[in-house]
Structure 1
Amino acid sequence: MVEETNLAGDEWTLESFTGAIHRGGVGLWAWSPERRLAQLDSLCREFWGTKGAVVTIDALFDKVAAEDRHGMMLDWAASASDPQAYSFDFRIGEGPDARWISARGVGGDAGKVGEWVQAIFLDITDRKRAEEAEHLLTKELSHRVSNMFTVARALTAIVARDAKSTPLFAEDLSQRFGVLHEATTMATRSHSLDQGNVRLQDLAERILSPYLNGANIAVDVEAAAVASPDKVNDYAMIFHELATNSAKYGALSGGGNLRLVGSVVDDALTLEWTEGAAPSGTTKAEGTGFGSRLLKQTIERSLSGKFERTIDDGGLHFRMIVPAA
């Protein structure tokens, strides 16, 4: 039998209570629908990036991510009169460093003390980023599987053009698939920290090797351009994505010219991937699909860099700049 326990007097002070909920990522706030003002405790002020304990609602709205702002404003307005428990999520700020917040409370008169509707803000950034990472991983896996089939079809077509017999065709195709597998294994081994930095020249050559007989390929990447073990998969994905698109639409679809150049200057790594027009003369508009989003997220978020890509009748030029390892 558990004995009854009573907390005495100052064991639950405002300071200890506030400290406890702040450590749990919970901030206290209140707002006045009539005056359109909000009161924020110290953690809430940190969430919103403001020093004022009392701020206007509109000033807070301006800090909400543009994509979330309209829905958040509607949810916020509803909490002033709807006497139900509510919970709505939104981002403060833009880009990968935005903070995810969940506003929770009871609306209407049930949540009021005087003119103020009282509630909490809960920092859910870690959970949201974990969900985003899981979602991205699932889509990336699906995308990579799709790309592997695309690569398989492209390699089969390249080998078939020059094959003089069925046995030679099978042998050549098997060798090319083996090289592609080695490139994937190379990235996996380094990622598990069995190896040190990987030269990007070596990684790119491994990934492009299966296409050597089908295109004029030149790789010239400085020895100083390397990937740390935890970034090898990022660079492998970038090269693989560019090669896959090229096999679909560009130089690697047969008989084209491709040049990859890399250099390190002032702690910045620059990679330039340049292709001549595809033999068919067809071009593809700059991608807006998952592959393009994956490139953007990998280069900008994971590698903290930037890139630009232009596609015209003359071919494709891709340039990325990231901090050197």
Structure 2
Amino acid sequence: MSETHDPNGYVWTLASFTDTIHRGGVALWAWSPTRRLAQLDGLCQEFWETSDSIVPIDDLFARVNPEDRHTMMLDWAASETEPQPYSFDFRIGAGPAARWVSARGVGGEAGKVGDWVQAIFLDVTRQKRAEEAERLLTAELAHRVSNMFTVARSLTAIVARGATSTPDFAEDLSKRFGVLHEATALATRAQIGDQGIVRLRTLAERILSPYLNGGNIGIDIDDAAVAAPGTVNDYAMILHELATNSAKYGALSGGGTLTVTGRVTGDALTLAWVEESAPSGAVASDGGGFGSRLLRQTIERSLGGSFVREIGGTGLRFEMRVPAA
């Protein structure tokens, strides 16, 4: 490039022009279809991680991400003959560190100087990663909404089977949806501040909050006892079921003591719910009611664990053991 003067006296040089476009992430290259060689400027060499300014085209092809290589080679070949502007994107390298580049130019004779096809590369890695993050977020949102509808539909069906009247059904279902809302709110805040986990102590305190005033309740759950993002609703439903049953028949109905403990040992999480000095006359469950079905479905199927429940003259002991998050 020869020096070019404008009316204000500024001098354009090859060095200043190259430096300017490089700062904008634009790299210059040219390739010869007959010689099967590519000429790369300094930034292009950085993109392709080579110190050579002239490189066999096949060597460049070998560095393209395997998932993109076939399509990229077809687009590259088409850029030689098709007389129109083109743009195609591909990755150099593999894995999280792969660089996204966009090849742009004009095909056919308009893009040639002698035997060489001239064009540019743009580093579009940042844009591509932002697009990928957006797609993941959209997919995650769709997944969460689908899961929530599944839980709601399943919960409605189970509550309906155990309801004795329309008002009871409406009240029970409303309370359970309220618990799901609380759990979802906790999980959303956790996604922002704590890698998506929810401490079970926080969840237990939230669900038992209506009973704390005047109730003899002890919550002793280790910080290591947590619910992963996809299991928060499961733990919420377990704790709510235990609390609801206790409020009807056990310690939370008045005069009893409730202790909730959680420990992580190795790869197992143990959560215990113990009621003592509960009012007399509590009816032992035969394991076939709504609560038992819900607990079994959630603990055994969803969480992949097991539980035991013992009801005696002085209270109840419930203990579940599941894989730790």
Q: Normalising TM by the smaller chain, what interval?
A: 0.5 to 0.7
Counterpart position of 1:32:
32
Question: 2:160 aligned with 1:160, yes or no?
Answer: yes
Counterpart position of 1:255:
296
Question: 2:231 aligned with 1:239, yes or no?
Answer: yes
| Residue 7 to residue 239, structure 1, CA distance change in 2 (3 Å) | farther
Deviation at 1:92, TM superposition (A): 1.9
- How do 1:257-276 residues align onto structure 2 when only pairs under 5 Å count? 258=299, 273-274=303-304
Deviation at 1:37, TM superposition (A): 1.4
| Residue 54 to residue 187, structure 1, CA distance change in 2 (3 Å) | same
User: How many Å separate the matches in 2 of 1:111 and 1:46?
Assistant: 23
Q: Does structure 2 conserve the Cα–Cα contact (< 8 Å) formed by 1:92 and 1:101? A: yes
Counterpart position of 1:104:
104
User: How many Å separate the matches in 2 of 1:89 and 1:106?
Assistant: 15
User: How many Å separate the matches in 2 of 1:34 and 1:203?
Assistant: 69
Question: 2:242 aligned with 1:201, yes or no?
Answer: no
* RMSD of equivalent CA atoms: 4.1
Q: Does structure 2 conserve the Cα–Cα contact (< 8 Å) formed by 1:199 and 1:223? A: no
Question: 2:20 aligned with 1:20, yes or no?
Answer: yes
- TM-score, normalised to structure 2, is 0.60
Deviation at 1:139, TM superposition (A): 3.5
User: Which of the two has higher C-alpha Rg?
Assistant: 2
Which residue type is aligned with residue 201 of structure 1? L
| Residue 319 to residue 105, structure 1, CA distance change in 2 (3 Å) | farther
3-state SS of 2:296 partner: coil
Gaps of 5+ in 2: 209-219, 236-291, 307-321
Deviation at 1:111, TM superposition (A): 1.9
| Residue 61 to residue 241, structure 1, CA distance change in 2 (3 Å) | farther
3-state SS of 1:97 partner: coil
Q: Does structure 2 conserve the Cα–Cα contact (< 8 Å) formed by 1:207 and 1:240? A: no
| Residue 162 to residue 99, structure 1, CA distance change in 2 (3 Å) | same
User: How many Å separate the matches in 2 of 1:188 and 1:201?
Assistant: 15
| Residue 51 to residue 128, structure 1, CA distance change in 2 (3 Å) | same
User: How many Å separate the matches in 2 of 1:42 and 1:111?
Assistant: 21
| Residue 178 to residue 23, structure 1, CA distance change in 2 (3 Å) | same
User: How many Å separate the matches in 1 of 2:324 and 2:95?
Assistant: 21
**Paired-residue identity, %:** 59
3-state SS of 1:62 partner: helix
Counterpart position of 1:119:
119
Gaps of 5+ in 1: 210-219, 228-234, 244-250, 261-271, 277-316, 321-325
Q: Deviations over 1:18-70 (max 9, x none)?
A: 22111211111111111211121222122222232222211211222222211
Counterpart position of 1:288:
none
3-state SS of 2:82 partner: coil
Q: Deviations over 1:108-164 (max 9, x none)?
A: 332222322111001122222333333333333333222221110111123234333
User: How many Å separate the matches in 1 of 2:24 and 2:163?
Assistant: 65
User: How many Å separate the matches in 2 of 1:318 and 1:36?
Assistant: 57
User: How many Å separate the matches in 1 of 2:44 and 2:154?
Assistant: 54
Deviation at 1:189, TM superposition (A): 3.9
Q: Does structure 2 conserve the Cα–Cα contact (< 8 Å) formed by 1:180 and 1:207? A: no
| Residue 5 to residue 85, structure 1, CA distance change in 2 (3 Å) | same
Deviation at 1:206, TM superposition (A): 9.5
Paired positions, count: 239
